[in-house]
């Protein structure tokens, strides 16, 4: 397939989807992280306080995942079709995890006898969602087999040791983001509990990143050789920024600056996302379908543009408004 140059509208929608993915990763990432950490304590008061830090935000955060899915379906239908074919099982696990997690969030307050079930559902659902997202990223880094615009691999091609590694890495990365959020939004014993976990979470993420890079540069080098990070030397500044952000998050926990761990953990995710962008561009489906080849006709993109300039600002304003209304530390929950 010859490579088509992307139109301005295709670039616009690619940018919108990229921003929506980044918003989702940071916003839903911290409440998934809180869910992951939720399962590491049996203290009911601590668990209730952790829930309170995300109660006004968690369902709105997932709106950005809907924007991503709808955006791909409408503006890059080829990517949507290939992605679902390649990651059919991870997408099902993602949906089951999000559904069970949402149900558990509401039901645990209304069921004393089965609260243990909903608590486990909330934690395990969060872990499953984080893992399959990370595994999908690892699978994309290795490349997706596409023939004549159709996925040509198997149902379990995504379940590669490298993808498992990136899946585990995202679980701990979201846990770090969640610990930073707990520190940012709470005080007293819960904040101290979260502070105590930031250092070792940073260390684990460092180890996983080092292992992933060793795998990429060694055993699995051929699988990711088609990426463009190697021939875009300036792009290596982004992984360096990510490492510095992790160090700053750990330092912020050490000097007890409440906003630093979350802010620098979020910066780490931004740096990681931009690194993937440098590695993948101009491919929408690595390393087979480019932005220009994947885009819907300009007439469709133009029609969607008029809807997007109305709907997307509304979602953004709603998101900002919620975080503004519920700003500050949580003292005894929102109610």
Which residue, chain included where needed, has tokens 């101290």? Answer: 192
Output phi, psi for 259, to 5 deg: -85, -20
Any idea how long the chain is?
A: 335
Which parts of the chain register pLDDT below 50?
Answer: 221-223, 225, 334-335
- Rounded CA-CA distance 246/260 in Å is 10
* Confidence (pLDDT) at 45: 87
* Confidence (pLDDT) at 225: 46
Instruction: Answer for the pair 41, 330: CB distance below 8 angstroms, yes or no.
Output: no
* Confidence (pLDDT) at 33: 95
- Rounded CA-CA distance 281/290 in Å is 8
Which residue, chain included where needed, has tokens 């829930």? Answer: 51
* Confidence (pLDDT) at 5: 80
Nearest to 30 by CA among 198, 146, 271: 198
Q: pLDDT by residue (tens digit) across 231-274? A: 777 778 898 999 999 999 999 999 999 899 999 999 999 999 99
pTM of the model: 0.92
Strands 146-147 and 150-151 come out as antiparallel
* Confidence (pLDDT) at 168: 94
* Confidence (pLDDT) at 335: 43
Angle at 307 between CA 304 and CA 311, to 5 degrees: 130
């Amino acid at each position: 397939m010859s490579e088509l140059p992307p139109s301005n509208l295709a670039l616009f929608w690619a940018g919108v989807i990229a921003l929506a993915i980044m918003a989702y990763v940071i916003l839903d990432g911290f409440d998934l992280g809180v869910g992951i950490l939720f399962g590491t304590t049996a203290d009911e008061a601590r668990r209730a306080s952790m829930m309170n830090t995300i109660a006004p935000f968690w369902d709105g955060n997932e709106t950005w995942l809907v924007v991503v899915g709808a955006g791909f379906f409408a503006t890059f239908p080829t990517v949507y079709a290939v992605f679902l074919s390649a990651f059919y099982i991870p997408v099902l696990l993602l949906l089951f995890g999000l559904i069970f997690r949402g149900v558990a969030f509401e039901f645990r307050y209304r069921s004393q006898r089965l609260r243990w079930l909903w608590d486990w559902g909330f934690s395990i659902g969060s872990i499953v969602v984080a893992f399959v997202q990370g595994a999908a990223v690892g699978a994309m880094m290795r490349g997706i087999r596409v023939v004549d615009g159709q996925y040509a691999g198997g149902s379990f091609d995504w379940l590669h040791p490298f993808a498992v590694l990136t899946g585990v890495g995202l679980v701990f990365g979201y846990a770090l983001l969640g610990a930073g959020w707990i520190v940012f939004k709470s005080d007293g014993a819960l904040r101290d509990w979260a502070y105590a976990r930031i250092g070792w979470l940073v260390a684990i993420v460092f180890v996983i990143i080092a292992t992933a890079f060793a795998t990429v540069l060694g055993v699995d080098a051929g699988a990711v050789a088609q990426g463009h990070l190697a021939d875009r030397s300036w792009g290596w500044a982004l992984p360096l920024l990510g490492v510095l952000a992790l160090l700053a998050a750990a330092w912020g926990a050490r000097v007890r600056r409440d906003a630093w761990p979350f802010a620098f953990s979020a910066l780490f995710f931004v740096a990681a996302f931009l690194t993937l962008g440098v590695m993948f561009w101009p491919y929408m489906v690595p390393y087979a379908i480019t932005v220009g080849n994947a885009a819907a006709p300009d007439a469709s993109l133009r029609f969607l543009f008029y809807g997007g300039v109305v709907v997307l600002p509304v979602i953004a304003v709603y998101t900002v408004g919620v975080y503004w209304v519920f700003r500050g530390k949580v003292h005894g929950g929102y109610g």
